[in-house]
Amino acid sequence: METQFGLAHVWNQGDWVTRTVALILLAMSVASWAVIIVKALDLRRHRAQARRSHDFWHSQDFAAALDKLPGSDNPFRLLAQEGQDATRHLLHLDGEAPAQLRDSLDVSEWVTRALRNSIDDFTARLQSGLSVLASIGSTAPFVGLFGTVWGIYHALLGIGAAGQASIDQVAGPIGEALIMTALGLVVAIPAVLGYNALVRGNKGVLHQLNRFAHDLHAYFVTGARVSVSRKG
């Protein structure tokens, strides 16, 4: 009689607990790879947008500069628009308005607040999904270990019921049970590596965005002060 080993044999011989653990690991693997692929594509697009942001300042006016930042989800374009809207709103350039609490704020503080809020919103979008990778990377090995422990327990019960304890009877079931631990590591390692790579990439994009925000702050504050002096 030919002895069968491998994942198919583990699935066929396993009980509902073993199969549930295997399905959970499969779902974790699919989820982690989906997040890695989607976030990697987003990161690639944001890096391209960051490179194009250097052309913003080589424009004749603000409208032409915005045209060099295409894309409705371009964080650099949204940041520039947010700063412009905040400056116009504070200086009543979008229409006269009665005195409000915001009028007591300095132009620099108001623009800084608007730019910071825009960066915070983008940071939240950039980091969405990374918690999935962190959770999978930290829990998948333990899920696989649980499957191994249960598989060994199940194998020992079968050996005890058969009344045989030869090396052939022990090595096969125990070895197959250890496959669950290996599967847990196979799921966890890409999740951890993907998480670390995405975090490093996100930090680079945020660094470029913060530098762009500092330049925008200087541009809008200087322009606002010139407008105020002309009105005076």
pLDDT on residue 2: 41
Q: How many CB atoms lie within 10 A of CB 59?
A: 13
Supply the pLDDT for residue 172: 61
Phi, psi of 70 (to 5 degrees): -75, 160
Question: In the prediction, which pLDDT does 8 show?
Answer: 63
pLDDT of residue 97: 53
Residue 85 has a pLDDT of: 84
pLDDT value at residue 100: 55
Q: Quickly count helices (H) and strands (E) in the chain.
A: 7, 0
Q: What is the pLDDT of residues 28-50, one digit of tens each?
A: 999 999 999 999 999 999 999 98
Q: Which residues contact 180 (CB under 8 A, 6 or more apart)?
A: 10, 18, 21, 22, 25, 144, 145, 146, 147, 148, 151
Specify the pTM.
0.79
Angle at 194 between CA 148 and CA 118, to 5 degrees: 135
Tokens, residue 109: 């503080």
Q: What is the reported pLDDT for 61?
A: 83
Q: Report, as ranges of residue numbers, the positions in the chain whose pLDDT lies below 50.
A: 1-3, 228, 232
3-state class (DSSP) for residue 167: helix
